[in-house]
Amino acid sequence: MSDKPGIPLPSLRRLPIYYRLLTEALENGAASISSEELGGGAGVPGAQVRKDLSYLPEYGRPGVGYNVRALAAYLEEYLGLVNDKEAVLVGAGNLGRALISYPGFERYGLQIIAVFDKDPTKMGDLIGGHEILPVHKLPDLSRRLHVQMGIICVPAEQAQGVADLMVAGGIDVIWNFAPCRLAVPEEVLIKNEDLAAELATLSHHITQRKLAAQDSAEQSPR
């Protein structure tokens, strides 16, 4: 499928949100959906939805609403959701266990096929039907099975070593949940999820709302 060049990253990140809203609309029996409805679910104006979808070759000129089934099918193909993707995960702690057990990945074609850890006391334990393997076996297994994606759920001080093992195993897409930046070759795509930074952002918003509420209460007539 041909791509319009230069789709902005924020627009690309909203496409999976639109897809989720479309699948929900399908489950509810809707045949069409407006850009305003999609925008309401995604937290953006309808005009932004139309702009985002204008980057898709077949959806640059919406009519009276979008065909829910057709647009959902198009996004499935555009985002590669129709193709199964296999991944390995390193870090069998609480976060790793939660990700392995998360059923929502199936909708996006993601299947975690192997779990690794360096803690010898965890070897042989089962998570989601997978036996925890020693992390030094990762490169060989990844190469033999042609795994393209790796998920890192280890402490920051261990993350670079894990990333190096993934690169050595031919993995070229890394989803990093460790709170650090990793050095990888240019051809390796890395997506960092800094949960602590996200929590700090949410904490800031909570603080600002409390301050605004206090100011409003102080300024209101008594």
Question: Residue 98 CB: number of other CB atoms within 10 A?
Answer: 10
The pLDDT of residue 144: 92
User: Residue type for 61, please?
Assistant: R
With residue 58 as reference, give the H or E element that holds it.
none
* DSSP assignment letter at 179: S
The pLDDT of residue 64: 66
What is the rounded CA–CA span in Å between residue 142 and residue 53? 36
Residue ranges in the chain modelled with pLDDT below 50 = 1-4
CB proximity list for 43: less than 8 A, separation 6 or greater:
none
Contact 148, 85 (CB under 8 A): yes
Q: Which domains occur in the chain, in start order?
A: 9-78 (1.10.10.10), 85-197 (3.40.50.720)
pLDDT tens for 185-194 read 999 989 888 7
The pLDDT of residue 78: 83
The pLDDT of residue 2: 39
